[in-house]
Amino acid sequence: MPGPQRGTTAGGGRDDAPAVAQGDLFSPVTVSRVSQVIVEQVRLLLRQGRLRPGDRLPSERELCERFGVSRVTVREALRVLEANGLIEIRVGARGGAFVTSPTSQQVGAGLADLLSLSPLTAAEVTEARLVFEIGIIPLIVERATADDIAELRALNDAQQRAHDDGTYTMEMSADFHIRLAAATHNAAIETLVQSFHGPLLMSLVTAKLKEPVMGKVGTREHRDFIDAVEARGVANAESIMRAPLRRTADRVAKDS
């Protein structure tokens, strides 16, 4: 099947892209929960590469005819696809449903929901952090820019001020680790760490319950870690990061 023409607009969209030919893409649905089946058909077409970002889906009326369902069902399916970041609904004369790519934040949020609903223990999360956070340090040291280092120092300064005025929270520590992942300049790593925010925070809170003053030493270690990254010292950075992670692991071990 020949692909659709791919026009672009000033905003990078493809409002002038013709609707994807429907001939053999879609098939009628006759089972229950039909809107979800429509969603799965569209996902399959995306995985197969028969629908690609920028393609415009047929109109609601055409989709109703092709799937053999009501407009209410089609709209429900489109809402699900939009919520999952797979399509964008545009209004106007050149509007419609356009295939798009989910952002790293959307992917991370979906993974975060799955992780939050999983029966993970603080000990398991900390063990995973030891493997993953130590593993990405060579990339952080190699790729961190001056802006990355400046932002990490700003976060560290905010942590120190919060300790001084008694407003420090474990969220601040989690935010620091998430910002570290961004310094790898690898979208997959950043997405994975963002999705791990809930479990990460849970493990930190659990550790703090066992050691209420937790955080003061960690803030100093974060500062030392930034210095090591700026000096491009992988071994030193790994050693500094491993210390607080092992400390946390010891504190939450009884929960395993």
pLDDT at 6: 47
Identify the pLDDT of residue 23. Answer: 57
- Tell me, what DSSP letter sits at residue 97? E
92-109 confidence digits (pLDDT tens)? 878 899 998 766 566 656
CB atoms within 10 A of CB 38: 23
Say which DSSP state 20 is in.
P
Q: Which residues of the chain have pLDDT under 50?
A: 1-12, 30-32
Q: What pLDDT does residue 217 have?
A: 82
Q: What is the pLDDT of residues 161-195, one digit of tens each?
A: 998 888 888 888 888 998 999 999 998 898 888 77
| CB of 87 closer than 8 Å to CB of 20 | no
pTM above 0.75, yes or no: no
**251 vs 119: CA distance, rounded Å:** 19
As a 3-state breakdown, the chain gives helix, strand, coil percent values, each rounded to 5, of: 65, 5, 30
**Domains, the chain:** 1-101 (1.10.10.10), 104-255 (1.20.120.530)
Cα–Cα dist 209/126, whole Å: 15
Q: Which residues pair with 90 in a beta bridge?
A: 96
CA distances from 90 to 10, 14, 148 (A): 15, 11, 35
